[in-house]
Amino acid sequence: MSPTPLGWRGWTLLAVMCAFVTKALWQWSAWAAGAFAVVCAAGALSVYAAQRRARRRGYWIEYLSPNQVRGGSEQFAIVYHEGEQEIWFNGLVRSPRERDLLHFPGAEAWTAAVDAWARERRSEILERLREDAIVRRCDLVEREPA
């Protein structure tokens, strides 16, 4: 899952929070403050690198946990983003021994379920989804409308 891009406000808030915590830790232990500063820098570089990769690729895939979806403790969502456009796919969390299920529209239902920009790109989008680390842990299930 790639992160939603942080704007300058997000980066500023992150830097200020890290600075406050580092200052507080410095009063307790210089080693703890240094270690925290290194962790903050590594985390920021990781987020920046993921955002840069997503911009270069032109798309990113976001996982929304059951708490974020608020559809019950067993539902999650995968959101495929391309610029400002997005497609939502619903999933079902199963027991730890079973793979989760990710539902997507069947070939005939795809054109009615997605916006115009994605209608002719079903196989490309599904292939990109299959390459994602979280989606690889799911069984993909075609769902035709009832």
Q: What is the pTM of this model?
A: 0.67
Element counts in the chain: helices (H) and strands (E): 5, 5
pLDDT at 9: 76
Tens digit of each residue's pLDDT (9 = 90 or more) over 9-34: 777 887 888 888 888 888 888 898 88
Give the start-to-end residue ranges of the domains of the chain: 8-57, 60-143
pLDDT at 130 over 80: yes
Tens digit of each residue's pLDDT (9 = 90 or more) over 106-121: 888 898 889 999 999 9
Closest C-alpha among 91, 62, 87 to residue 74 = 91
Query: Any idea which residue has 């974020």 for tokens?
Result: 68
State the chain's mean pLDDT as an integer: 84
pLDDT at 126 over 90: yes
- Tell me how long the chain is: 146
Tens digit of each residue's pLDDT (9 = 90 or more) over 56-95: 888 888 888 888 777 677 889 999 998 889 999 999 988 8
CA 78, CA 91: separation in Å to the nearest integer?
7
- Please provide residue 133's backbone torsions phi and psi, each rounded to the nearest 5 degrees: -60, -40
Strand partners, 91: 76, 102
Task: Give the 3-state DSSP-derived string for 49-75, with helices as H, strands as E and coil as C.
Answer: HHHHHHHHHCCEEEEECHHHHCCCCCE
